[in-house]
Amino acid sequence: MILAVAPNPALDVTYGLGELHRGRVQRVRTVSERPGGKAVNVGRVLHDLGERVLVTGMSGGPGGVALRAALDRAGVPEDLLDVLPDVRRTLVVHETNGVTTSLWEPGHPPVDPSAAADALTRHVSELLAGADALVVSGSLPPGVDPGLPARLVDAAVSAGVPAVVDVSGPALQVAATAGGAVLMPNADEMAELVGHRPSTPAEAVRAARRLLPPAGRVAAVVLTLGADGMAVVRPDRAMLAAPPERVEGNATGAGDAACAAVARQLAAAGSLDAVDWRGLLVDAVALSAAAVLRPVAGEVDVRAYRRWRDQVRVEEA
């Protein structure tokens, strides 16, 4: 079972329209509401691929009731904690020309942020007994200690469960100091970690090496580089790969699909030492590209994924 932790889940509302014109009243063509937040999207992708997954995290209030109901309709198992006054909403405006605009609420602070973080840490520690991999992904509710993802990684490492972390901001800074995790930053997040934005994939790989032993404690870095594809950086090896063809569509859920691919490879291997890192990179590139073809995050075009998985080419970096 893959345990996906969503500290700050959301209800995702997606509007489809021809073209967005600021300052004007427009009629929306399509509306969808789905369970969201990065870890929830990861869980949805894993579920659709037939993987055993359990979504946990912070929830509560009327939005939490709606979130649970939406996950149930999607068939995604959950074990969320009611520690929030409500669940945030995100609004995605998707135009027919492929342009996507996202508006994200920050979330609702727990009444007692420290107690909420402690409760989630205990809950995850208990669930790790039945887990093959841990995913910690997405933002934190306002007021919650940015060290929470690192605490969850420490719990996973103690339980012998491989972990992948996809967070940003101060939480990323702390997570980068946690030993034994796979970190998944994009180019902008690498800039947060190393002080400058890498201008090329090769420069991004060099920057990622600074997070690995002996200088750092991260077990591996999986870089998402947009149109340039992805990279896997380990202490002894680095590899680059890109989609076999140009993909246009909604890239909102591409990173979450890549995280799902990493998690399923970690779970299949059972330990970081047994991971097929080349296969992990191929799977992540193909799955993230297949997500771009879908109009909403948390879905992938499975036929495209299977086709591209055999076409992705990997080069040493």
Strand runs labelled E in 125-283: 133-137, 163-166, 181-183, 220-224, 230-234, 237-242
Q: Phi-psi region for residue 176, left (φ > 0), alpha (ψ -120 to 50) or beta?
A: alpha
The span from the CA of 38 to the CA of 25, in Å, is 30
252: exposed, middle or buried (Cβ count in 10 Å: 0-12, 13-18, 19+): buried
Nearest to 104 by CA among 258, 251, 252: 252
R_g (Cα) of the chain, nearest Å: 18
Q: What pTM did the predictor assign? A: 0.93
Q: Is cis: bond before 162, omega within 30 of 0? A: no
Angle at 154 between CA 148 and CA 158, to 5 degrees: 150
Q: Domain of 306?
A: 2-316
Task: Give dist(CA 174, CA 249) in Å, integer.
Answer: 33
Identify residue 273 by its one-letter amino acid code: D
DSSP code, position 183: E
Query: Tell me, what CATH number does 39's domain have?
Result: 3.40.1190.20
What is d(CA 290, CA 278) in angstroms, rounded to the nearest whole number? 19
Q: Can you give the pLDDT at residue 77?
A: 98
State residue 250's pLDDT score: 73
Question: What is the Cα–Cα distance from 76 to 208, expressed in whole angstroms?
Answer: 34
- CB 28, CB 16: distance < 8 Å: yes
Helices (H), 6-147: 38-48, 61-74, 113-127
Q: Give the residue ranges of DSSP H helices in 232-276.
A: 254-269
Q: How far is Cα 176 from Cα 192, in angstroms, rounded to an integer?
A: 11
Residues of the chain with pLDDT under 50: none
Q: How far apart are CA 81 and CA 75, in angstroms?
A: 18
Query: What is d(CA 287, CA 305) in angstroms, rounded to the nearest whole number?
Result: 5
d(CA 182, CA 286): 19
DSSP H or E stretch at residue 150: helix 148-159
| Tokens 């939480």, located at residue | 171
Q: Are 60 and 83 in contact (CB under 8 A)?
A: yes
Measured distance CA(21)–CA(16) in Å, rounded: 13
pLDDT at 126: 98
DSSP class of residue 27 equals: -
| CA–CA distances in Å: residue 52 to residues 4, 55, 164 | 11, 10, 17
Please tell me the total count of domains within the chain. Answer: 1
Confidence (pLDDT) at 92: 85
Confidence at residue 50, expressed as pLDDT on a 0 to 100 scale: 96
Q: Give the end-to-end CA distance of the chain in Å, rounded to a whole number.
A: 33
